[in-house]
Amino acid sequence: MTDLTNLGIAAIRDGVAKGDFTATEVATAFNAAVAEANPALNAFIVTTPDHALAAAERVDAARAQGQPLGPLAGVPIGMKDLFATQGVPTTAASHILEGFVPQYESTVSQKLWDAGAGMLGKLNLDQFAMGSSNETSAFGNVISPWRAKGPDGTGDNAPRAPGGSSGGSSAAVSAHIVAAATGTDTGGSIRQPAAFTGIAGIKPTYGRCSRWGIVAFASSLDQAGPMARDVTDCAIMLEAMAGFDAKDSTSLDLPVPAWSAGLTDDLKGLKVGIPREYRLDGLNADVAKSWDDGIAWLKDAGAEVVDISLPHTKYALPAYYIIAPAEASSNLARYDGVRYGLRDLPDGAGLQEMYAATRAAGFGPEVKRRILIGTYVLSAGFYDAYYTQAQKVRTLIARDFENAFQQVDVILTPTAPTSAFALGEKSADPLEMYLNDVFSVPASLAGLPAMSVPAGLDRSGLPLGLHLIGRPFDEQGVLNAGLAIERRAGFTARPEKWW
């Protein structure tokens, strides 16, 4: 039998439906792969082999009785530990939520279970989704399954960042220890990790997936999405995740299109925009070459390439790092040691001392940094100078995209300015770390659908991703352009197993 862990969503779902193998066999294979790999990769905070097996047994029983199967029937997935899972610890990779076991299920995870998926466990991430390298987790760094190689085939063997904040998700999908995983994206946290690990990931239009039951970072930016082996699997999983939810006031009351059925790599008549502002001074040569390759592939698929301008791009990163921390400082105020999670109560302490001690012990340095920035920009005397100005810039960035989409249908850029860097390489300089989001943040500020697809390897043998941005609600256009790149790039590289 084929190694079942090499199969993605579509192959597992179809194989289970045809009876080529059982869902229980699939779950057993993936549970074993997780148990073998996790001590080295640290991709999971909590493993739930029993959940995966129970879901698989339900699928096998339904098939035996001739009942219709769900679109993800028999597919074992990883759940980013930002989604509340009933009866299973949910920590947001922070000590302040250690011991928190939700008595409810997030809307997105419930939709996935209803579709027939099973949970292999809760995936590691940057604490409260704040980070670009998965080095801020209270439960240790996630290690990318990829290693760099020199021209002679030998590498430096340094542990590489899997990207962030969805680093556990990207590492697990890339290492083939899950068939797919959920991610969340506030400023690039699905797309940048996908690029670093050679997988596909899509952030849908803001509001497409419910935020109810997801630990909040920046509420006007956070959006859930799938991370999977390829574009088709992303489309199938996104269909299951998306949909209106009355419990989320920002949820889009729109029907969910059949994206997977509408997939095509024929882009005749499509116009692809290439924004000149993304050609940064000193752009990495391998990244620039992969962008040029992407342009050629889209032309080959029938698309017309158009030069465009997004003039306010250079202000996107500073605006984001005002707006996101401001919203975080408000959202994280609820972690006070009173109702759930960590409580640090020094002898003789009053309420204020308990708040201070709990937050000091529970939040990590990066979370504290962003809370301080956010509280500062929202304070009297600085609100108009920083927060109000950043919101105005956000409006200008959204308007740039509106103007561009009068000329073009999708926009192509690199996903990240470099391939995966070594762990520890950028952690001493927060500003250098924040620059990882330079290509992904503008689409987040505008609430647009955006996707990363693997484009090839750099000279060190590390994956590079290409980034597609679409009109609001046009996930189909983004997925189709992604499919066109995927088929022409022919990316089949996998990390050599060392774990």
Measured torsion, CA atoms of residues 106, 111, 112, 114, in degrees rounded to the nearest 10? 120
Rounded to 5°, angle at Cα 43 from 38 and 44: 80
Q: What is the pLDDT of residues 233-242, one digit of tens each?
A: 999 999 999 9
Q: What is the pLDDT of residues 440-492, one digit of tens each?
A: 999 999 999 999 999 999 999 999 999 999 999 999 999 999 999 999 999 99
- On the question of pLDDT at 71 being above 90, the answer is yes
- On the question of pLDDT at 193 being above 90, the answer is yes
Q: What is the mean pLDDT of residues 374-395?
A: 96
- Is 497 tagged catalytic? no
Taking the C-alpha atoms of residue 248 and residue 263, their distance in angstroms, rounded to an integer, is 29
pLDDT at 153: 62
Confidence of residue 345 (pLDDT cuts 50, 70, 90): confident
Taking the C-alpha atoms of residue 446 and residue 350, their distance in angstroms, rounded to an integer, is 44
Q: If you average pLDDT over every residue of the chain, what do you get?
A: 96
User: Residue 122's closest CA among 35, 223, 43, 54?
Assistant: 43
User: Residue 417's closest CA among 409, 426, 408?
Assistant: 426
The lowest-confidence range among 40-54, 310-324, 333-347, 413-427 is 333-347
Confidence of residue 427 (pLDDT cuts 50, 70, 90): confident
pLDDT at 125: 98
Bridge partners (DSSP) of residue 225 are: 183
| Residues 6 or more apart in contact with residue 398 via CB below 8 angstroms | 445, 446, 447
Confidence of residue 339 (pLDDT cuts 50, 70, 90): confident
Taking the C-alpha atoms of residue 472 and residue 71, their distance in angstroms, rounded to an integer, is 25
Pick the catalytic residue from 94, 109, 165, 166. Answer: 165
Question: Class of the 4-267 domain?
Answer: alpha beta
The lowest-confidence range among 2-6, 325-329, 376-380, 445-449 is 2-6
Separation of CA 108 from chain center: 14
pTM > 0.75: yes
- Is 166 tagged catalytic? no
- On the question of pLDDT at 378 being above 90, the answer is yes
Q: What is the pLDDT of residues 85-97, one digit of tens each?
A: 999 999 999 999 9
Pick the catalytic residue from 109, 132, 144, 189. Answer: 189
Q: What is the mean pLDDT of residues 395-399?
A: 98
Greater pLDDT, 347 or 398: 398
Q: What is the pLDDT of residues 266-324, one digit of tens each?
A: 999 999 999 999 998 889 999 999 999 999 999 999 999 999 999 999 999 999 999 99
- Is 314 tagged catalytic? no
- On the question of pLDDT at 179 being above 60, the answer is yes
Q: What is the pLDDT of residues 102-161, one digit of tens each?
A: 999 999 999 999 999 999 999 999 999 999 999 999 999 999 999 998 666 667 789 999
Taking the C-alpha atoms of residue 348 and residue 129, their distance in angstroms, rounded to an integer, is 34
Residue by residue, DSSP assigns 284-340 as: -HHHHHHHHHHHHHHHHTTPEEEEE--TTGGGHHHHHHHHHHHHHHHHGGG-SSSSS
pLDDT at 280: 86
* Two structure tokens written together for 1: 């039998």
**Percent of the chain beyond pLDDT 70?**
98
Q: What is the mean pLDDT of residues 335-358?
A: 90
Taking the C-alpha atoms of residue 437 and residue 148, their distance in angstroms, rounded to an integer, is 22
Confidence of residue 430 (pLDDT cuts 50, 70, 90): confident
Confidence of residue 347 (pLDDT cuts 50, 70, 90): confident
